[in-house]
Amino acid sequence: MAEYFDISLILKKGAFSKERVFNFLEQFGLLKGENETAYFEGRKVVVSSFEDEEADFHEISIGFSEQNFHEDSFEEELKPFTALINKCFEFSNDIIYALCSYELNGYLIGCEKRIDDFKNILGKFPIVYMRNERTKIPDMVISLKAQELFK
């Protein structure tokens, strides 16, 4: 069974914030549930959300099957993910983080209840995009110590 490379969009809770982002993702063929999308070369993608009434944020998860990164071509392989994430951040000011890993996101995010507490766990994700208030695109931080990325 192939591992999924997961992107979790973490956004402030609002009346329509989650639905607006889901609608935005649809233009990339990323519908709720299991999809194959031309934007990612027909790859199987699973889009879902996780609800926690006590949390002050929404999580929208986008899982990509059979994504392998290679050390010698990592930057090129990461480009389509970064492009999508940048577009999401430009679309919605409610998105604060995009957290990326191989199947660790649910485990790490499930313990958090407040967006402000994420700063304590960001180093546990191998790739983090975070809102930069001065620019429209997020800052990206890569931590190769957090998880083995290269296959």
* Reported pTM: 0.95
Q: Is residue 20 part of a domain?
A: yes
Q: Is residue 150 part of a domain?
A: no
* Chain position carrying tokens 């006590």: 54
> What is the arithmetic mean of pLDDT over 44-71?
94
Closest by CA position to 99, among listed 134, 142, 136: 142
Question: What pLDDT score was predicted for residue 15?
Answer: 74
Domain carrying residue 133? 4-142
8 A C-beta contact, residue 138 and residue 132: yes
Q: Is residue 10 part of a domain?
A: yes
Q: Is residue 106 part of a domain?
A: yes
Mind listing the pLDDT tens digit for each residue in 92-144?
A: 999 999 999 999 999 899 999 999 999 999 999 999 999 998 987 899 999 98
Question: What pLDDT score was predicted for residue 3?
Answer: 83
Number of domains into which the chain is organized:
1
Q: Is residue 148 part of a domain?
A: no
Dihedral (CA of 26, 98, 1, 106) sign: negative
